[in-house]
């Protein structure tokens, strides 16, 4: 039997392509239901020019493959399926998808030693099939629970990413960082989607700003009730993101424009659900959740 791959990248969307680039020095295979053959050419652009383009090995989910680390970059709604279906393909499972509750699901299925989570703040947009354009330089954070084994695995992966040119660091507890990004997304993504405007609308429209502040306030209260100490203030961070990515369309708006299902269930929907369990007023999050779900239904998205 051949040695396992260093990494399986589950999902070849924008984030999957970015990680394929950062891990290009390692032995990598992509797992994709869209794969048409043993290899696919993937391309990463920056400022309109090709930064990197190469053919990478691909496998469908049902194909035999063994990996040291399974890196999940799928849309949030596909992550629970991937964590379960791919359980025999890897030793360590790293959830890099947007969304709340996904890292906890990885821990539940694979244990504290084998589960990692992370956040990505690089700005990305699609430029075609297996093509992603880098719109903003950000950072990757990787971490797990208090498990010493998880911390060792986080450090190893961070070193692999840095060697490929990524700005990355390992953290002891990833949950505050995941929740910080989730609350930031809860403000930016649905508001820009409903207004059909780029992220800078949060700097230009005072009503949008006021709504974002309400949404973030609710998310912070839910986090506090759950005992999560956020890494920084999510409203200030949301405004900073809007400044840095002003011309970008949020991933949720990109999904709606392409008539695709959004990740709203794992952002505002999750915050609303958890808030109601904890007796937190989450009317702003619930309203945004219902409005985006209404848009999906109107578009015929299921």
Q: What is the pLDDT of residue 1?
A: 53
Domains (ranges, CATH) in the chain?
A: 5-173 (3.40.50.720), 176-298 (1.10.1040.10)
Full strand arrangement of the beta sheet holding 49-59 = 123-128, 131-136, 39-46, 49-59, 28-31, 5-10, 67-72, 90-95, 115-120, 140-144, 168-173
Q: What is the pLDDT of residue 89?
A: 95
Tell me the DSSP string of the chain. Answer: -PPPEEEEEE--SHHHHHHHHHTTTS-EEEE-TT--SSEEEEEEEETTEEEEEEEEEEE-TTS---EEEEEE-S-GGGHHHHHHHTTTTEEEEEE-SS-SSHHHHHHHHH-TTTEEEEEE--EEEEEETTEEEEEE---EEEEESS-HHHHHHHHHHHHHHHHTT--EEEEEE-HHHHHHHHHHHHHHHHHHHHHT--TTHHHH-HHHHHHHHHHHHHHHHHHHHTT---SS-HHHHHHHHHHHTTTPPPHHHHHHHTT---SGGGTHHHHHHHHHHTT---HHHHHHHHHHHHHHHHTT--
Cα 296 to Cα 253: distance, rounded to the nearest angstrom: 11
- Alpha-carbon distance of 94 to 116, in angstroms, equals 5
Written as tens digits, the pLDDT of the chain (302 aa) is: 578 999 999 999 999 999 999 999 999 999 998 877 799 999 999 988 999 999 999 999 999 999 999 999 999 999 999 999 999 999 999 999 999 999 999 999 999 999 999 999 999 999 999 999 999 899 999 999 878 899 999 999 999 999 999 999 999 999 999 999 999 999 999 999 999 999 999 999 999 999 999 999 999 999 999 999 998 999 999 999 999 999 999 999 999 999 999 999 999 999 999 999 999 999 999 999 999 999 999 999 87
Distance CA(77)–CA(13), nearest Å, equals 14
Residues contacting residue 261 through CB under 8 Å, at least 6 positions apart: 75, 77, 255, 296, 301, 302
Q: Are strands 140-144 and 168-173 parallel, antiparallel or unpaired?
A: parallel
In contact, 121 and 181? CB cutoff 8 Å: yes
Distance CA 263, CA 254 (A): 11
Determine the pLDDT at residue 127: 92
Q: What is the pTM of this model?
A: 0.94
Beta bridge partners of 171: 143
The structure tokens 């190893």 sit at: 156
The count of other CB atoms within 10 Å of the CB of residue 37 is 7
**CB 71: neighbour CB atoms within 10 A?**
29
Q: Write the Ramachandran bin of 16: left for phi over 0, alpha for psi from -120 to 50, otherwise beta.
A: alpha
Please give the pLDDT value at position 149. Answer: 92
Can you give the pLDDT at residue 148? 87
Q: What is the pLDDT of residue 260?
A: 94
């Amino acid at each position: 039997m051949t040695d396992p791959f260093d990494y399986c990248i589950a999902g070849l969307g924008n984030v999957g392509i970015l990680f394929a680039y950062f891990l290009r020095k390692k032995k990598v295979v992509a797992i994709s239901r869209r794969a048409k053959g043993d290899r696919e050419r993937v391309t990463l652009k920056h400022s309109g020019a090709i930064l990197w383009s190469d053919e990478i090995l691909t496998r469908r989910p049902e194909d035999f493959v063994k990996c040291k680390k399974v890196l999940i970059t799928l849309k949030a709604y596909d992550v629970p399926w991937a964590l379960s279906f791919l359980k025999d393909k890897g030793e360590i499972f790293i959830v890099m998808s947007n969304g709340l509750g996904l890292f906890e699901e990885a821990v539940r299925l694979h244990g504290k030693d084998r589960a990692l989570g992370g956040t990505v703040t690089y700005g990305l947009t699609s430029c075609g099939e297996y093509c992603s354009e880098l719109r903003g330089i950000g950072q990757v954070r990787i971490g797990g629970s208090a498990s010493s084994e998880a911390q060792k695995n986080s450090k190893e992966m961070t070193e692999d990413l840095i060697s490929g040119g990524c700005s990355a660091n390992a953290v002891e507890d990833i949950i505050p960082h995941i929740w910080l990004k989730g609350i930031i997304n809860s403000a930016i993504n649905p508001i820009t989607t409903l207004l059909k405007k780029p992220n800078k609308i949060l700097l230009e429209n005072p009503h949008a700003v006021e709504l974002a502040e309400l949404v973030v306030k609710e998310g912070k209260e839910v986090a506090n009730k759950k005992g999560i100490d956020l890494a920084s203030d999510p409203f200030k961070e949301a405004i900073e993101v809007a400044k840095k990515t002003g011309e970008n369309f949020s991933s949720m708006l990109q999904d709606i424009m392409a008539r695709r299902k959004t990740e709203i269930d794992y952002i505002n929907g999750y915050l609303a659900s958890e808030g109601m369990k904890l007796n937190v007023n989450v009317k702003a999050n619930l309203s945004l959740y219902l409005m985006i779900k209404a848009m999906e239904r109107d578009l015929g998205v299921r």
